[in-house]
Structure 1
Amino acid sequence: MKYIYTALLVAMGMLVSCDQLLDIEPEFTQDAENFFNTPQDYDRALIGAYDLLQTSYLQIWIGEIASDNSIAGGESVNDSQGLHEIESMTHGGVNAELRNVMRFNYAGIARANYIFENRDKIQFEGKDQILAQAAFLRAYYHFTLVTYFGDIPLVVDKRLALSEVTSSQRTPKAQVYAQIEKDLRVAVETLPWTNPEIGRITKGAAMALLGKVLLYQNKNSESAQVLGDLITNNQAGYGLFSDFSSLFYTANDNINEDVFTVQYSGLEGGGYDCFVCLEGNLAVGFHGIRLYNGPFYGDGNSYNLPTRNLYNAFAANDPRRDATVLDIDAFIARQPNSDQISYAVGGGGHTGYYNNKYIKRLNERGLPDDDLTSPLNYRAIRFADVLLMAAEAFQKSGDDGRARTELNKVRARVGMPLINSSGGQLLEDIYRERRLELSGEGFRFFDLVRTGRAADIIAGFQPGKHELFPIPQVEIDLAGGNWQQNPGY
């Protein structure tokens, strides 16, 4: 990712610039207006658009902490205060984490738009593949924004000049979704099933995200068709990894279960002053056990701590329980030298549990500071998620038989009894399975909101308000006050 060398203007007037992203060859001879002279320039710009995927730590944190799955944790209640406000449902328009969601995703959109703005400058073989990957990325960033904030300014095929910021308006989310679908269908039609360069977007990733986008809009028949086609015509060889207990080890990055994965590297260091500059997965170190001294795990910052409610949701014989939630005291008690193992409790809360999917392990650490440089990839969509989304879409479309088939593939992988229910009970079983299978990965809050169950499950959730997060106040100010805040904030 470090080879992109043009500083790109972020929509809403925000500029993300870090020395790590600037590598000018030679210095002072190229700028944004005389770029795109070679195929390599287009590919470098595309890598710049990929780069913003590395802020996935925000999805893991907010998607879990806003739900019943996790608490914020950390050193104190003032450590990442915005996460504690999200946990208690007291968040408002001044929230660092929510502002980062908006500006990082608009940075990604701006970088994708930069490519489309110059799509016709030169012709070369393979340009359609670059444009299709850029279309997917733009769709993903827009989808993230619309699920967080609802109506958002829709900017396509151009960068937003500073003079345009104060006149920009929020676009109805239906129009944003239409653009997302358009971009994803281009990606589906253009991209191959496989790519020799690991981490590049493929046809399967585009189909999976399209199916998800349709499901979020309750276009259940269309979602079932897309996801069903992906499962049936699976030319990429997607499948379920046999050993769930080691699924989230770095040794098992980029396996057949990975449909859309954010790639990380532990070979480049970074600092706390610029999380968007990192090449490693910082969520892993931040999820680590505070001042831990013992085997297998590394120490960390005790963020995003699973709740007892989540731990108890699993059957005792479900192997996903311990693979998802680390019961630290039980783990220590099983060790032969348990009296020599120690850890500390942070002032931001303690549950006794840790996110065991994305956690620092001693043999998986990156370069110092290894809190910030984990090489563990983030699975934005894995095949188990595809199967469960398909099960939901088929059930809601009236096909209980196909829904059970896809649901039971997920349960069979971990040796759990097959489901034989139908109708409303089957749908509840699918929802429950999504929690058991996907907890710790950043999807729980959005699943509860889109299915209308959030108010019954999340403490402090106010219907008519908390379905969306507030627009960051600084963005409203930058837009000259033209944007109305989301209801209730």
Structure 2
Amino acid sequence: MKKIKLIFTALTGLLVLVTGCSDEFLTREPEGQFGQPSLLTPDGVEGILLGAYAMIDGSGVDGSNDWNVTVENWAFNIASDDALKGTDAGDQPEQSFIEAYDFQAFNGHITNRWRSLYKGIARTNDAIVSARTVEGLDDARREQIIAEATFLRGVFHMEARKMWRMPKYVGDENFDINDVNSTLVPNDREIWPLIEADLEAAAAVLPASQSDIGRPTSWAAKAFLAKAKVYQGWNDDGSANVSKLQEAKPILEDIIDNGPFSLAPSFEDNFLVSTRNNSESIFEIQYAISSAADQASSRGMGLAHPYTDPWGCCGFYQVSQNLVNAYQTENGLPLLDNFNDTNVSPDTNADGSSVVTARLDPRIDHTLGRPGILYKGFKIYQTDFVRDLSYAGPYFSKKHVAEPEGFGIGGWGNLTANNYRYMRLGMIILWLAEVEVELGNLEEARALVNQIRTRAANPDGFVPNAIQGENRNDFTVEEGVPAANYDIATYDTPWTDAAVARKAVRFETRLEFAMEGHRYWDLVRWGIAAETLNAYIASESQFRTYLNGRSFTEGRNEYFPIPSQAIDRSFLEGTATLTQDPAY
């Protein structure tokens, strides 16, 4: 059996043998075809499946830039109140349009995300069809290949459904890798039920554990199934879809009560190379440095590194003042209603230390870089980390960056071995808290939120203070001395007001998962994107003047337009099979 660690290492060489799509604008080919008949041997089918895994991170998309298509979704999360495009005004202007809610059907980032997802879907279908027909494959392995590919197909379609209001669903019923018409299906139905069906089918067959780290288990399939139901748990007007939340609850409870998972001891354990695949991990994207292939990491995050040494490129994916302010606390609790009334200062003292005396949630300094605070063990962060201070401000993203021990080749590619925790137990706990609030079980929700806050309060996980030496690379770490005035407590007063409980759970979700590529879609699924983001623009534009005059249009900007290129390529017998979102 091929080891899953090969997915992001030796896969590049593998795909040379099995890929080869043209990139001409109107070339009519099945999205994701390999350009030659699939090799119907057991090893060939395993290779097709590995090719499908590679598409989780968008690898192998001809003509695309990795940052457009990476699973971390950072190039689209810049439309949230957490993140800014960063770098400078002239670099990657297509991202500037996304940040400004000017979503256009010809935007190359949007086009490439569509292409990568549907290429991944095509590869899953090819794996399924090929596994059914190949000779010489052990029946048990045949069943597992089909289940793994079905899981991936559900996940790819879920990402598409998050991006687009009415994407198409491409199944394996009539799939033929050599027939363009087999992928030309209309986007005329809601695909959530089909996503659920894929994940249910996968959960029924996949094992509870895998010997190859990185392959999905039945628990992973259940987790994504629960996610699909939770994402349908709110209507467009923000009211709860109680029936979907009721369906999600027993799945979430099963994972928490019976799954082999526990919260990692420290919050930071979810963002270090040294603590990959820990007790909290349910499904994790595996990355590793390969000197032979010269690529193996999340190349899609390559641009999202500080502009200073040792990275040297490229300054994208900076952090908003709004998010920094959200980590302020009073009596250890977040300021749910007035967190943005006072700004956390980016200033430093003469010795380079932070001037901030405000009480802060300790997760702030694992989530973002701010002046005067040690940055992942490399050096004390200062504003030389950013490319253009006047454009996107003083703060930078941090979670995806590997610590020095896991830092790889460096330079433009910024290759690291830091995995992406796509699904972890903390998500399951807070989704269940959301469900409990809407079902009226406020005290159960409070207990769940307090689990997350108790872990965040572990002082062993606090960023330590560091004293600057004679040069930027010279510093002394004061072990056991916190870098800031960290103050975090649990909610000890019973929750009796559903509106307050809902706000607290959603705020906790932001603090826990900020800059991990989820915030924009959380706001959309909760039905509060317009009010939240327009308030954010009003405040953030005082720092980022280029946001002046921008606005989020309710009923439109919750979803992206279907790429015009995809519609142009969808004609069958003179009629386009894809229909544009009426909002565009």
Task: Answer yes or no: same fold by TM over 0.5.
Answer: yes
Q: What is the RMSD computed on CA atoms of the aligned residues?
A: 3.0
Query: Which runs of structure 2 are paired with 1:329-340 in the superposition (5 Å)?
Result: 329-331=371-373
Q: Are the structure 2 counterparts of residues 77 and 269 from structure 1 closer, same or farther at C-alpha, using a change threshold of 3 Å?
A: farther
Q: Are the structure 2 counterparts of residues 100 and 485 from structure 1 closer, same or farther at C-alpha, using a change threshold of 3 Å?
A: same
CA distance in 1, matches of 2:246, 2:31: 41
Give, in angstroms, the shift of residue 146 of structure 1: 1.1
The answer to whether the 8 A contact 2:170-2:183 is kept is: no
* Corresponding letter in the other structure for 2:141: G
Aligned to 2:353: none
* Corresponding letter in the other structure for 1:483: L
CA distance in 2, matches of 1:403, 1:462: 32
Q: Are the structure 2 counterparts of residues 484 and 304 from structure 1 closer, same or farther at C-alpha, using a change threshold of 3 Å?
A: same
CA distance in 2, matches of 1:204, 1:87: 35
CA distance in 2, matches of 1:232, 1:59: 28
Q: Are the structure 2 counterparts of residues 338 and 86 from structure 1 closer, same or farther at C-alpha, using a change threshold of 3 Å?
A: closer
Q: Secondary structure at the match of 1:286?
A: coil
| Residue in structure 1 matching 2:579, options 481, 484, 489 | 484
Query: Which runs of structure 2 are paired with 1:360-399 in the superposition (5 Å)?
Result: 361-367=403-409, 369=411, 371-399=413-441
Identity, in percent, stands at 26
Aligned to 1:42: 45
The answer to whether the 8 A contact 2:288-2:296 is kept is: yes
Aligned to 1:275: none
The answer to whether the 8 A contact 2:409-2:415 is kept is: yes
Partner deviation per Cα, 1:285-306 (whole Å, 9 max, x = no partner): 322211x14xxx6333111101
Aligned to 1:448: 523
Comparing 187-196 and 8-17, the one that deviates more: 8-17
1:401 aligns with 2:443: yes
The answer to whether the 8 A contact 2:372-2:381 is kept is: no
CA distance in 2, matches of 1:268, 1:16: 28
Q: Are the structure 2 counterparts of residues 417 and 92 from structure 1 closer, same or farther at C-alpha, using a change threshold of 3 Å?
A: same
* Corresponding letter in the other structure for 2:445: A
Give, in angstroms, the shift of residue 216 of structure 1: 0.9
CA distance in 2, matches of 1:355, 1:339: 11
Q: Secondary structure at the match of 2:223?
A: helix
1:285 aligns with 2:271: no
Partner deviation per Cα, 1:237-296 (whole Å, 9 max, x = no partner): 21111122353111111111111111112215779xxxxxx5311244322211x14xxx
CA distance in 2, matches of 1:113, 1:54: 18
| Residue in structure 2 matching 1:307, options 314, 317, 320 | 320
CA distance in 1, matches of 2:170, 2:495: 45
The answer to whether the 8 A contact 2:261-2:281 is kept is: yes
Aligned to 2:484: none
* Corresponding letter in the other structure for 2:56: L
Comparing 399-408 and 307-316, the one that deviates more: 399-408
Query: Which runs of structure 2 are paired with 1:456-475 in the superposition (5 Å)?
Result: 456-459=531-534, 460-475=551-566
Q: Are the structure 2 counterparts of residues 361 and 400 from structure 1 closer, same or farther at C-alpha, using a change threshold of 3 Å?
A: same
Comparing 223-232 and 419-428, the one that deviates more: 419-428
| Residue in structure 1 matching 2:507, options 412, 416, 432 | 432
Equivalent pairs, count: 459
| Residue in structure 1 matching 2:248, options 218, 223, 240 | 223
Q: What are the ranges of 5 or more consecutive residues in structure 2 without an aligned counterpart? A: 1-6, 59-68, 234-243, 329-358, 458-487, 535-550
* TM-score, length-scaled by structure 2: 0.73
CA distance in 2, matches of 1:469, 1:408: 35
Aligned to 1:116: 128
Give, in angstroms, the shift of residue 160 of structure 1: 6.2
Q: Secondary structure at the match of 1:486?
A: coil
* Corresponding letter in the other structure for 1:449: V
Partner deviation per Cα, 1:135-165 (whole Å, 9 max, x = no partner): 1100000000111112122211124666527
Aligned to 2:364: 321
Give, in angstroms, the shift of residue 462 of structure 1: 0.7
1:414 aligns with 2:456: yes
Give, in angstroms, the shift of residue 385 of structure 1: 0.8
Partner deviation per Cα, 1:207-226 (whole Å, 9 max, x = no partner): 11000000111210011111
Query: Which runs of structure 2 are paired with 1:102-181 in the superposition (5 Å)?
Result: 102-121=114-133, 122=135, 124=138, 125-157=140-172, 158-159=175-176, 163-164=180-181, 168-173=185-190, 176-181=191-196
CA distance in 1, matches of 2:438, 2:265: 29
Q: Are the structure 2 counterparts of residues 103 and 395 from structure 1 closer, same or farther at C-alpha, using a change threshold of 3 Å?
A: same
Q: Secondary structure at the match of 1:299?
A: coil
Query: Which has the larger Rg?
Result: 2
The answer to whether the 8 A contact 1:151-1:170 is kept is: yes
* Corresponding letter in the other structure for 2:37: A
* TM-score, length-scaled by structure 1: 0.86
Q: Are the structure 2 counterparts of residues 112 and 319 from structure 1 closer, same or farther at C-alpha, using a change threshold of 3 Å?
A: same
CA distance in 1, matches of 2:256, 2:118: 32
Q: Secondary structure at the match of 1:184?
A: helix
* Corresponding letter in the other structure for 1:371: G
Q: Are the structure 2 counterparts of residues 337 and 84 from structure 1 closer, same or farther at C-alpha, using a change threshold of 3 Å?
A: closer
CA distance in 2, matches of 1:367, 1:197: 26
Q: Are the structure 2 counterparts of residues 445 and 36 from structure 1 closer, same or farther at C-alpha, using a change threshold of 3 Å?
A: same
Q: What are the ranges of 5 or more consecutive residues in structure 1 without an aligned counterpart? A: 23-30, 272-277
CA distance in 2, matches of 1:239, 1:391: 16
Aligned to 2:107: 95
CA distance in 2, matches of 1:475, 1:257: 38
Q: Are the structure 2 counterparts of residues 14 and 363 from structure 1 closer, same or farther at C-alpha, using a change threshold of 3 Å?
A: farther
Aligned to 2:349: none
